[in-house]
Structure 1
Amino acid sequence: MSDTVRVLSAGSLRHAFPAIIEAFGEETGIAVSLTLGPAGLLREEIEAGAEFDLFASANMEHPHRLAAAGLTENAACFARNRLSVVARADLGLTTENFLTILSNPEVRIGTSTPGDDPGGDYAFEVFDRIEAQHPGTGEAVKSRSRQLVGGRNSPPTPPGKPSGYLITDGEVDLMMSYSSNARLLAADPALTIVDIPDPFQPFIEYGVAIRKGADSRTAHLRNFLFSPRGQWILSEAGFSPIG
C-alpha cells in the first residue's frame, strides 16, 4: 500500500487541488500526491495500468468509462465550470459581438485538444451549438480553430511564460478557456475575458472516481471534496459548487 493517496487530476484543477490537499492534510494527517494533466490522457494512463487512487476529471465521460471497465467505483460530479474566451483587448470582444468576432475569418482562434483534453471537447461543443443555430457558421469556426494545448503532441509551456502567452505573443487572437482559469487573467490590460453566451455555453461537470479496492483514506479524500470546506475551496478557485 502506498504511503500517500495518489491523485491524478485534470490540469484545470491546478489552482484548487493544492489547497484541497493542504486542508485535507490539516484535517486528517493523510498525505496526498498530485499529478496533473489532460484528463483524457490521464484516463488512458489508468487504462494502461498507471498507479492511482483517485481520478478527478474535467468531464464525467472519462470517469464513467473507467467505472464501466471495472477500474473505479462509480463516478460522481463534484464541481461545475463554465467556458470563457480570453482575447486580445484591442479585438473589442464583448458578449454582444461574440458571434460576429468568432465568425470573422481573420480572427485566429485557439483551443485545447478534443479527445485528449475535455477543454477541447467543450470548445468544439460551443462550435456545434453555434452550427445548430447558425448553419455553416459553427463548422467554419471549427475548421479555423487551432488545437494548441492539452494534447499528447502539444509543445510544453515555455518556462516563465504566464498564462495567456499564446495571445500576448501573437500566436492567436483569442483562446477558449475554462472560466476558473480565465478569471486569473482579468487584471491583465492586454487581455479581455468574456463569458460565452448562454445559448452556446456547454454544460461542464467535473467527475471524481476512486480506484476499485482503494482504502478508506481515498474514500475520505473523495468525501472531503463534497464537504462544505471542500466545496468552499472549489468555489474560491472559480468553480461552481454542486449544492
Structure 2
Amino acid sequence: MRRTSLTVITLAALAACASSEPTPVSKEPLQVYAAGSLREVLTGIARDHEARTGQTIALTFGASGLLRERIEKGEGAQVFASADTQHPQRLASAGGWAPPTVFVRNSLCALTQASVNATPQTLLETLLNPAVKLGTSTPKADPSGDYAWELFRKADGVRSGAYAALDAKALKLTGGPDSPKPPAGQGTYAWVMDQGQADVFLTYCTNAVAAQKEVPRLKVVQVPAALQVGASYGLTLRRGAPAPAEAFARALLAPPAQAAFARYGFGPP
C-alpha cells in the first residue's frame, strides 16, 4: 500500500482549539463515522463522553473506504476515524477536512480454523498451501484488505513468487460494497470463519481476538516480523465543525480514551 506524507494534527494543536470555557452542547447529535474495527471500543468511549458532557453522539461504522465515499457524496460526518491515513488524507486533499493525525495503531494477525496447524514460523507456508482457503477483506474499500496485500508484497521478498500466488488465491470476503453481512448479533469475522468460508483469514489482531472470544475453537496466529504490517488509524475533523466535534476528537487522544483503546488491544499513536 502506498504511503503518503502527511501534515499531522498533534494533540497540542487540537488542544489549542479548546476554549477555557466549557464546550457548548449541540442540540443535534454529533456525527462520527468510524472504521468497523473500532465498533466495540468506540461505542464505550462515546457512551462515556455523552455521560460526561451531555453531548449526544451518533456513531456510523463501516469499511473506511466506503465511509469516505459516502462522505464525498455529501453525508454529514463531522469526525472521521479511519483504519488508515490514506482515506482521511484524500478528504483533506480535496478540501473541507483537516489533515489526519494517527490516534491508535493496530497490526495483522491470522485467524485460523482449529484444523489449521500454523505457527508464526510456518504461516507463510500455510498461506501458500493450495489446499488452504485464504480470506481477506476487500482492498480499496477496507484498509484491512490493503494491509493484507502489503503483507503479500513483503512475502515476495521472503519467497519469490509468493505475491502472485497469494494475490491469485485470496478470497475478498468482507468489507466490500456487496459483501454479505452477518446475522444480527454476530461479528463479521467470527461468522465468516464459523461458516467455513475461509481456513485462514488475515485481519487486524483486535478483530481476530474478538472473533476467537465469540467462536472459541478458532485460533489466533501472530504474523512474523518479516511479514508484519502496521496499521495506523487516522483521525480527521471536518473544517468548520462545531465545538463538540473538536471536543470529541480531543477526547479520543486523551489518556482515558487511549487507556480504553489499549484494553482492546490497540497500540498508542
For this structure pair, what is the TM-score category when the shorter chain's length is used for normalisation?
over 0.9
Q: Deviations over 1:36-82 (max 9, x none)?
A: 01000110111111111100100000111111111211211000001
Query: Which residue number in structure 1 is paired with residue 264 of structure 2?
Result: 237
Rounded Cα–Cα distance in structure 2 between residues aligned with 1:137 and 1:70: 39
Q: Does 1:182 align with 2:214?
A: no
Q: Deviations over 1:145-197 (max 9, x none)?
A: 10011001111213454542322322211111111111123454421101111
1:195 to 222, 232, 243: 222
Contact preservation (8 Å) 1:180, 1:238:
yes
- What aligned pairs does 1:74-153 form with structure 2 within 5 A after superposition? 74-153=99-178
| Number of equivalenced pairs | 242
Name the aligned partner's letter for residue 95 of structure 1.
P
Name the aligned partner's letter for residue 158 of structure 2.
Q
Query: Which residue number in structure 1 is paired with residue 233 of structure 2?
Result: 206
Rounded Cα–Cα distance in structure 2 between residues aligned with 1:233 and 1:189: 23
Rounded Cα–Cα distance in structure 2 between residues aligned with 1:107 and 1:100: 10
Query: Which residue number in structure 2 is paired with residue 25 of structure 1?
Result: 50
Contact preservation (8 Å) 1:113, 1:119:
yes
Rounded Cα–Cα distance in structure 2 between residues aligned with 1:170 and 1:7: 33
- What aligned pairs does 1:37-76 form with structure 2 within 5 A after superposition? 37-76=62-101
Query: Which residue number in structure 1 is paired with residue 192 of structure 2?
Result: 166
Rounded Cα–Cα distance in structure 2 between residues aligned with 1:10 and 1:40: 9
* Post-superposition offset of 1:129: 0.7
| Secondary structure in 2 matching 1:7 | strand
RMSD: 1.4
* Post-superposition offset of 1:131: 1.1
Rounded Cα–Cα distance in structure 1 between residues aligned with 2:77 and 2:248: 13
Q: Does 1:221 align with 2:248?
A: yes
Rounded Cα–Cα distance in structure 2 between residues aligned with 1:71 and 1:43: 13
Name the aligned partner's letter for residue 32 of structure 1.
I
Tell me, which stretches of 5 or more residues in structure 2 are unaligned? 1-25
Tell me, which stretches of 5 or more residues in structure 1 are unaligned? none
* Post-superposition offset of 1:199: 1.1
| Secondary structure in 2 matching 1:171 | coil
Name the aligned partner's letter for residue 62 of structure 1.
H
Contact preservation (8 Å) 1:89, 1:189:
no
Rounded Cα–Cα distance in structure 1 between residues aligned with 2:51 and 2:27: 19
Name the aligned partner's letter for residue 236 of structure 1.
R
Rounded Cα–Cα distance in structure 2 between residues aligned with 1:171 and 1:198: 27
Contact preservation (8 Å) 2:64, 2:142:
yes
| Length-normalised TM-score, structure 2 | 0.86
